[in-house]
């Protein structure tokens, strides 16, 4: 496995919903000092029930974020992916078991806490058919992203299972989602 440092100062994390992207971004940020950027927070208006910003405004926020010198940015948003990958110095792709992703979704909506990584400020996570179907619809997206990322020729780490993701935390000595070190930082 590649060393975390091999990914450079601009790390893009992609993967399906509820695969662990936000938490990994916060953990890497805490370890490296790279600024965490949660694309869902740029896409959606704070203090709403995940109401989207206008496309143009979101694209401007995205482009401003990728122009900075260093970041660990998580999220997909494939329409904005090409410029992000051009600026990224390394990438991480997460995948995972569909049922585990559903479990994480239900757990996060029932807990509905502002300390969850990537949480929308003032937003309310609620169980919805729209999100449930989105998780199912995007279940195979990791393969599509893997093909796109491989074509960049940039350093890439792939975690296909929860065990591989847990191993990544261990190999890189990252604070884990269940550690005291990270729990207080998850609202970044």
Write down the pLDDT at residue 94: 92
pLDDT above 90 covers what percent of the chain?
51
DSSP states of 22-48 as a string? Answer: HHHHHHHHHHH-PPEEEHHHHHB-TTS
Write down the pLDDT at residue 34: 97
Could you give the residue ranges of the DSSP H alpha helices within 44-161? 55-66, 81-87, 98-111, 129-137, 141-152
| H or E stretch at 166 | helix 162-171
Write down the pLDDT at residue 184: 45
Task: For residue range 44-88, list pLDDT tens digits in order.
Answer: 888 887 788 999 999 999 999 999 999 999 999 999 999 999 999
Grade residue 174 by pLDDT with cuts at 50, 70 and 90: very high
Does the predicted model carry a pTM greater than 0.85?
no
Count CB-CB contacts under 10 A for residue 168: 22
85 CB contacts (<8 Å, ≥6 apart)? 12, 91, 148, 149, 152, 154
13/147 Cα distance (integer angstroms): 15
Average pLDDT, whole number, for the chain?
84
Lowest model confidence (mean pLDDT) among 7-16, 30-39, 94-103, 157-166: 94-103
Q: Which residues pair with 74 in a beta bridge?
A: 13, 38
Write down the pLDDT at residue 107: 74
Asked if the model's pLDDT at residue 122 lies above 60, the reply is no
Grade residue 186 by pLDDT with cuts at 50, 70 and 90: very low
Q: In the numeric block, which tokens belong to residue 78?
A: 């494939």
166/98 Cα distance (integer angstroms): 17
Q: Find, among 46, 45, 43, the residue nearest to 79 by Cα.
A: 43
| C-alpha of 180 from chain center | 21
Asked if the model's pLDDT at residue 180 lies above 80, the reply is no
Write down the pLDDT at residue 3: 95
Higher pLDDT, 122 or 6: 6
85/153 Cα distance (integer angstroms): 11
pLDDT average, residue stretch 126-135: 70
Higher pLDDT, 60 or 185: 60
Backbone angle region of 113, left / alpha / beta, with phi > 0 → left and psi within -120 to 50 → alpha: beta
Write down the pLDDT at residue 18: 80
Q: CB of 40 within 8 A of CB of 18?
A: no
Q: 129-137 and 98-111 are packed helices; what angle lies between their axes, rounded to 10 degrees? A: 150
């Amino acid at each position: 496995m590649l060393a975390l440092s091999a990914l450079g100062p601009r790390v893009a994390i992609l993967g399906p919903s509820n695969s662990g992207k936000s938490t990994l971004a916060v953990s890497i940020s805490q370890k490296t000092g790279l600024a965490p950027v949660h694309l869902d927070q740029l896409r959606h208006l704070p203090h709403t029930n995940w109401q989207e910003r206008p496309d143009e405004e979101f694209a401007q926020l995205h482009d401003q974020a990728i122009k900075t010198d260093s970041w660990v940015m998580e999220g997909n948003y494939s329409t904005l992916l090409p410029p992000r990958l051009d600026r990224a110095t390394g990438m991480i792709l997460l995948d995972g078991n569909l049922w585990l992703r559903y479990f994480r979704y239900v757990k996060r909506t029932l807990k509905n806490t502002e300390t969850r990584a990537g949480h929308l400020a003032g937003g309310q996570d609620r169980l919805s058919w729209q999100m449930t179907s989105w998780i199912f619809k995007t279940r195979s997206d990791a393969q599509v992203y893997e093909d796109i990322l491989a074509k960049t020729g940039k350093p890439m780490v792939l975690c296909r299972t929860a065990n591989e993701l847990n191993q990544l935390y261990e190999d890189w000595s990252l604070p884990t989602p269940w550690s005291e070190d990270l729990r207080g930082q998850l609202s970044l």
